[in-house]
Amino acid sequence: MEPAARIVVRRPGGGYRDRWRSYGIEVDGVRAGTVAGGEQVELPVAPGRHSVRAVIDWSGSPVVQVEVAAGATARLTVQPAGSAASALTQLWGRDSWLVLREE
């Protein structure tokens, strides 16, 4: 059996947008966990390439591809894509509400 790998998604605290709401984290199209402001979530995965996306309601982030070796950890950060003032311009896009990036 191959050693497990991990994907860790961190969400910085602070800010006003989505302050009281958690973001869902999808790995390979399946909901794998949630992350609240100022927290992180650790998701065990099989070694290899994975598609990761953060979601909230009907929107979220673009998909990020990560490669995780056996026993290794891929680290990502998720946050709102802009300020509370810019929210109306991002409201209707499927992947425009959040920014997910590899650290």
Each residue's pLDDT tens digit, 78-102 = 999 865 545 544 455 557 789 999 9
Parse the chain into domains and list their residue ranges.
5-102
pLDDT > 90: what percent of the chain?
A: 69
According to CATH, what is the number of the domain 5-102?
2.60.40.1120
**Do β-strands 64-68 and 48-56 pair in parallel, antiparallel, or remain unpaired?**
antiparallel
Band the pLDDT of 57: cuts 50, 70, 90: confident
- Dihedral of the alpha carbons of 17, 45, 7, 48, in degrees to the nearest 10: -120
| pTM (2 d.p.) | 0.87
CB 63 within 8 A of CB 52: yes
Average predicted confidence (pLDDT) for the chain: 88
